[in-house]
A and B are shown apart, each in its own frame.
Chain A
């Protein structure tokens, strides 16, 4: 089967615009994570979905960030009113038995 896929692979946007990043996890993986990889902060956890439970949003850096997971599968990370400091690579991972498998990431550049 296919691995975790993410789209778009690259996104350039203007400051103040909203962006949506998509993640398709591995089929059958009930857990899904979003991380952010940036030069100054390294890799940091953003949000976690497990089955039908309420997501753990404790890693989201501000209320401009939100995410949803529809039907326990595809997830969308939305950043509203983007800022230059949001520029980073956004990584999605799906998990089985503690092992997380990562997608290729979406590279976001906010001008």
Chain B
């Protein structure tokens, strides 16, 4: 079955330290992949997207993600966490070439400690 798996439900880092949020996908072809962020009581905001043009994708607020086909992974990273990064992060894929609806991972809640 085609799916998106976020390996950690919660990640806690200290301000100024690197962030790594892990995501693996299962698909019969190379999907389009996205990371969205959701701050408390706010809507989903697009961080970045991968659509096969380049395997390393840079997004907003210093985030980036690398598509690794051999590992079926699309991990999200940031060199230095900021307090404002505390939010829920969703790894998302378009698996269906027809309707192009999004398949969401279960989310990773990022806590940033002072």
Contacts and interface: CB of A to CB of B under 8 A. Distances in A.
Interface of A: 31, 33, 35, 42-45, 48, 50, 56, 58-59, 91, 93, 95, 98-105
Contact of A59 (B42, B94, B101, B106): B101
Given A43-B104, A102-B43, 13 more contacts: A33-B102, A42-B107, A43-B102, A43-B107, A45-B101, A48-B100, A93-B44, A98-B94, A99-B46, A100-B102, A102-B36, A102-B45, A104-B42
A95 B100 CA distance: 10
Interface string B94-111: 100011111110110000
B90 interface: yes
Contacts, number: 48
Given A31-B100, A43-B90, A59-B101, A103 B43 contact: yes
Tier of interface size on chain B: 20 to 34
Interface of B: 32, 34, 36, 42-46, 49, 51, 90, 94, 98-104, 106-107
Nearest to B107: A42
Contacts of A95: 100
B38 to A, nearest CB: 9
A48 B101 contact: yes
Nearest to A31: B100
A94 to B, nearest CB: 12
Given A43-B104, A56-B99, A91 B44 contact: yes
Nearest to A105: B43
Contact of B44 (A42, A50, A58, A102): A102
Contacts of B36: 102
Given A33-B102, A45-B102, A101 B46 contact: yes
A102 B94 CA distance: 15
Contacts of B51: 98
A106 B51 CA distance: 30
Contacts of B99: 48, 50, 56, 58
